[in-house]
Structure 1
Amino acid sequence: MGRTVEILTGKAELCRSIMSALPDWFSESEVIEASAQAIEKLPVFGYIEADVVTALMALKPHLPDAVEIALIATRPEYHGQGAGRHLLDAAGGFAQKSGARLLTAKTLAPRGRDEPQFEATRRFYDRNGFVRAEVFAKLWHEDHPCLFMIKPLAGKQPSEAAL
C-alpha cells in the first residue's frame, strides 16, 4: 500500500526524473527544466510505493481562496493505479488547511487533433470533481491553449458577510 508524503529535498531532481519519463506530455527540455526550477520553492508531495516515488505534485497557493496544482505527473508504469487520486486528496487537504475554497489546475485544452494523452489528463480531472471553467487561447502559446479547471472544496462556502 502506498502513501503520500511531503517532499522537502531533491524536488528538482525528482521532477526531472518523472517528467523526462513522460515524453508524450513533456517533450521540451526547456519546459522540464523550468518546471524543475519552479517547484523548488513550492510545496511538493509525492506518492510512494515500495520505496519508489511513483508520482509527484507541486502546489502553488493563491491564497486566501485558491490553491493551484502547478504540476502533477505519474511515472508511466504506474498510470491508472491511483497515485494521482491520492495526490489530489493531499492537495485538497493542503488547500483546506490553508483556508482555501478552490483547487485549480491548468492543462492543455483540446486542439482538434488526436492527442489521447491530454484527453486522458482532462478526463482524470473530470473524474475527480474538477469543472472545465475557461480556455485561455494564448496564455502559454498560440499552439498550446490552456484549459483552466476548478474544483470547489467541500464544506468551504463564502460567508454571508463576504457576499
Structure 2
Amino acid sequence: MGELPEWFDHPEANAACAEVVEELPMFACQLEGNVAGLVALKLHPPSAIEIFVIAVRRRFHGQGVGHLLIGAAADYARNTGCRLLTVKTLAPRDRDEPQYAETRAFYERNGFIAAEIFPTLWHEDFPCLFLVKPLDRRSA
C-alpha cells in the first residue's frame, strides 16, 4: 500500500487497515520472487464477501494480477456458499481523480455492477460507490 500513495494516502487509515487484515482471509500473488498484489476479504454471511482491500504493486499493473486476485476472492466466496462478491470504492465526484476512474473501470471489467452510492458513509467529501459481483454456482 505504501507504494501506491494515489490510492492509499492516509497513513493512519493504512495502519488501521493493516491491523484489520491480519484477522481476515487474504490471498497474494507472487511474481519475480515478490508479492505482486494482495486481496483481503471481509465476510458478510450468509450471502456476501467484501473485498476489504486489494492492492497490486505498480510495476505489475496491467499484467493480470488484479484479475487473478478477484478470481481467488470469487472462488473463496463460492466455496463458503456466498453468492455475492462486493467492494466499496470512491464514487465519481466533481474533482474526480483519474486513478479512481481506472479503479472503477477495473471492477467493471471484472464483472462488478455499480449498485449504490452512499454519499456520507465515509465522509461527505468521499462518497462511497458500492459495487456487487453476482457469483455463479460453479465449483471452484
For the criterion TM > 0.5, the same-fold answer is yes
Report the Cα offset of residue 50 of structure 1: 1.9
Letter in 2 for 1:131: I
Describe how 1:58-73 pairs up with structure 2 within 5 A: 58-73=40-55
Q: Are 2:78 and 2:137, in contact at CA under 8 Å, matched by a contact in 1?
A: no
Aligned pair count reads 138
Which stretches in structure 1 are left out of the alignment for 5+ residues? Answer: 1-18, 157-163
Alignment deviations for residues 79-120 of structure 1 (CA, whole Å, 9 cap, x no partner): 111100000000010000000000000000011224110000
* Structure 2 partner of 1:75: 57
Greater Cα radius of gyration, structure 1 or 2: 1
Over residues 41-74 of structure 1, what are the superposed CA-to-partner deviations in whole Å (9 max), with x where a residue is unaligned?
0001101112110101000111110000000011
Q: Which residue of the partner structure matches residue 94 of structure 1?
A: 76
Residues of 1 paired with 2:21 and 2:137: CA distance?
Answer: 29
Higher relative contact order (CA 8 A, sep 6+): 2
- Distance of 1:122 and 1:79 partners within structure 2: 15
Is 1:52 matched with 2:27?
no
State the 1:33 CA deviation.
0.3
2:99 to 117, 120, 130: 117
CA distance in 1, matches of 2:43, 2:33: 28
Cα RMSD after superposing both structures: 0.9
- Where structure 2 has 5 or more consecutive residues not aligned to the other structure, the ranges are none
Task: Please state how far the C-alpha of 1:155 moved relative to its aligned partner.
Answer: 2.5
TM-score of the superposed pair, with normalisation by structure 1: 0.83
Instruction: Show structure 1 runs of 4+ deviating over 3 A.
Output: none
Sequence identity percentage: 53
Is 1:152 the counterpart of 2:116? The answer is no
TM-score (norm: length of structure 2): 0.96
Selected match of 2:9 from 27, 33, 52: 27
More helix by share: 1
- Structure 1: which amino acid aligns with 2:120? K
